[in-house]
Amino acid sequence: GGASSGAHAGLAARAEALLAPSERAGGRALQASDSDVEPELLTLEDALGQDALGKATFGRAGCGGEALSGENGRAEPEPRAAGAAEARAAALEESLLLVVTEVLAAAGEERGDESLPLLEQHARLQERELALDLVGHCCVLLGALGRGGEESGAAGGSDALQVGVRLSLLSVLEQLGDSAALVAEAAERALCRMSLAQGRGEGATVAALIEANGDFLLEALSRRLRHQPSGRSRVPLVMEALLSYAGATTLPLLADVVGELIDLADEAVGAADGESRAAPALLPCARAMCALVLAARDCQAADETAASGEGAAAPEGAAVAAAGVSSAVGAAESVGGLAVPGSGEGEGDEAGNELAAMFDSFWSEVAPAEARGGEPGGGEEAAAEGEGPEGQEEAAARREAEVREEEEEEERRNKPPMAPALALRVVQKVEMLLLCSPPSVAHVLLDALAAAIPLLQPWPRALLPALHKLWAPLVSLFDSPELALAAAAMGVLRTAAHLLRGELSVSSMAAAFPPVLRVVAAHGAAPPLTQLRPAGGQAAAEP
């Protein structure tokens, strides 16, 4: 163990020594490319320099950077010099990718051994922090090289950055949920640097980075869940990170692996009972399920906002169309005698009469029945529809269409869409988890319930069966010695009673009253007089 730790520290120190001289040049190139000022081309002398990185990559200190820079620092390379520069840039990219691969492999070994002494555990945490920082710096340098290659017309820089991001993205996301704050903060810094390297301006966000690599992440998660049993324990950490940083955009992608997440929770419960030693911990699974509910809430809110925007645009378009019709009618009346109901008759020349006839027919098509002097649903047309077999067939077809629309509307009321349906699956699983979870896990699950009940309120027929099964575990938590846990359970019950007051049965509400009264009597009443007796033995006066 000591030899392995020393080897890891040596690898991290060598990688840091290689990257330290070139970090300054890469950061300056990236800052120049993001600013409004037209960036100068990153020369190889500036990027590699006469340092250890140049020696390690090319076997010598100087790399001929003066051949790359022309007047005002702009690239005016000769063909031979340009080919040598591209070769050196490719070698630098290859060395950076090698550093990423080796550092991640070293940081991933023996990361959770609690049997080591405390000082060695802290040393390993520092090694992991350094490895994550190195990964972020490597991605920044790869991004700077790619942008410098774009300026000079070279190809391949963006491909190298994409390779580096995909080599490290999954490992960085895993360590975002690490229990050690030192490692989690380092993973967050690395993720931000990767986002800055891959995007520009408003696109340099973690959500954009995850969305751009969503297919790769989904494939990697599926492979770990189904073909790599050793990597299943870290999948909830990745899912929690994805849903927390880019929930609304990644929720459709992760819908395919929600079933596997729930299976992992079942395995974790079995591990807590002693049935298995290789199953993941229950707390990461609970956090991932809570993040899933919150992402479903955000996704549903975004869909409702988009639908309300479309609904507001439709009346505005109708008003514009109505204004167009009224202006057209006014124009026709000014040209010739258009006889509109209620507007009197007019006389005009032949052209005016033809235009009036055209608008008259248009009015008969768009105007309501009351404006044309008839009653809706009545008149000769309705009588004609009822006569003969053709009218009867049309009436039957219309009734069938109305029945189908009512059935579809009923199905929409009973069956929630994709995002609330995923939250419903979590609610259905919480019943079993609440009965066998420690307080830390129960708090996370109650937070998920508090967010899921308002989300599923529009579909009470889907929510109530799962909620009735949760009633007994919730009521049992009222008597918990953890007062914060009892208060959280009461908060969930209060939310359900407030939002579903007309849907909950009387027996369900009556079952909750005795435990509530017991808790109020135990924690809300004044202490007995025996507890107020002073040290001298005399009873205190009654308040």
More confident residue, 299 or 407: 299
Question: What band does 30 get if pLDDT is binned at 50, 70 and 90?
Answer: very low
Q: What percentage of the chain has pLDDT greater than the value 90? A: 7
CB of 138 closer than 8 Å to CB of 130 = no
The whole-number pLDDT of residue 157 equals: 54
At 344-362, the pLDDT tens digits run 444 445 555 665 666 566 5
At 140-162, the pLDDT tens digits run 888 887 777 766 665 555 678 88
Q: Mark 238-251 as b/e (b = at least 16 C-beta within 10 Å).
A: bbbbbbbbbbbbbb
The whole-number pLDDT of residue 379 equals: 46
At 204-217, the pLDDT tens digits run 788 888 888 888 88
Is 0.75 topped by the overall pTM? no
- The whole-angstrom separation of Cα 416 and Cα 299 is 13
Between the CA of residue 221 and those of 158, 261, 278, what are the distances in Å?
24, 11, 18
Question: What band does 175 get if pLDDT is binned at 50, 70 and 90?
Answer: confident
List of residues 6+ apart from 79 with CB closer than 8 A: none
The angle formed by the CA atoms of residues 457, 458 and 462, to the nearest 5 degrees, is: 75
More confident residue, 478 or 272: 478
